[in-house]
Structure 1
């Protein structure tokens, strides 16, 4: 177990370093060299795919993933009786949202198109909406990473695991790309969001494995004591 936890922590540290490097390279208010290069790849395509990208971007919106997260937690808690995993989902998604807000206010990078509002369930609120890192990209990465983790946990067929994992990885990449093509974010906002999301997810997964291992050991110890007491009475 400790080997896998060490690997997860190393991934988390590496992703954090990557996020830091991206943050340093990105100018606070204007596009960096990385942004200019990546934006050239998308040049012209945003006009042809704007409607499709809007729908894809919607899949990373706060209200959609809030509903998906609630349904996932209910499925884990009520259907699978996996209460610890349900709390793990809440920690990953809830902590990710708070981390994203903290980083946005820390860097305070303006968007490609100035925006001082955000929307939730169709309601518009006047509030400064910073760009770095992308909230859509972070939420999408964390949620679909959770789905991939649960697929490898519950699905038995290896081929199905691989196919669904690739599909959700592509969906996450498309959601991130849609934010650039809709001029809602700079490319470095997306790259930074993916990096810090990977760092947060692997850190949470390492912590969950430690917690879950201790819980299993405690349950085994209690069962052992019960069996010893049972044989002692007989």
Structure 2
């Protein structure tokens, strides 16, 4: 049942990714990008800019790597999930670089509050952070029994990548469609990697049980 649910979610997200990816130059997507940026840009002020700069730094690859290392060192489930977490971040980073090169979408020609290089689609910050926090979310859902702790971690795992993605739009370095595609892609990669490793662990445990009985 759970595998079926994850399959459906992955299928829906993949469809949405394709829809956004192959519509980035369509007028509808451009209109949505422009409309959402207009809403956000109307809120620009020094204090909010300071917060958004901080949020975008929290979402940098360096910080995600530090979080991964912290997970490896301090997490109680690191033995089972260190490799899936590292694999997710690595695949997401490489996929993002490849997709940026493939689509070659230039950065928005608007007020940019920070300087960024290379292409725009999809957002690396949105993609990598969504992948990492989706993985943490799924691990938490499976292994944390305390309801309050589970709820707190789950909320954090949802809010952080959302705020980081919005910060990229606010700072003028990404279109809304870049960020949305990044969120979808990161989520899909994380779900696929998590379920592949879960399936592998089940097969491995079955094999160990089989050989133990033989002995």
**TM-score between both structures, scaled by the size of structure 2:** 0.88
Per the alignment, residue 98 of structure 2 pairs with: 102
Give, in whole Å, the separation in 1 of the partners of 2:122 and 2:197: 25
Moved more, 197-206 or 103-112: 197-206
Per the alignment, residue 57 of structure 2 pairs with: 58
Where do residues 1-234 of structure 1 align in structure 2 (5 Å cutoff)?
3-27=1-25, 32-48=30-46, 49-76=48-75, 80=77, 82=79, 84-113=80-109, 129-226=118-215
Question: What's the CA shift for 1:132?
Answer: 0.3
Runs of 4+ in 1 over 6 A off after TM superposition: none
Question: What's the CA shift for 1:86?
Answer: 1.2
Give, in whole Å, the separation in 1 of the partners of 2:104 and 2:92: 18
Structure 1: unaligned runs, 5 residues or longer: 119-127, 227-234
Give, in whole Å, the separation in 2 of the partners of 1:41 and 1:155: 38
Give, in whole Å, the separation in 2 of the partners of 1:106 and 1:186: 17
Moved more, 134-143 or 146-155: 146-155
Give, in whole Å, the separation in 2 of the partners of 1:63 and 1:145: 18
CA contact (8 A) 1:112 1:186 kept: yes
Give, in whole Å, the separation in 1 of the partners of 2:63 and 2:9: 28
Superposed CA RMSD in Å reads 2.2
Give, in whole Å, the separation in 2 of the partners of 1:96 and 1:216: 28
**TM-score between both structures, scaled by the size of structure 1:** 0.81
CA contact (8 A) 1:73 1:89 kept: no
> Which structure has the larger Rg?
1
Question: What's the CA shift for 1:12?
Answer: 1.6
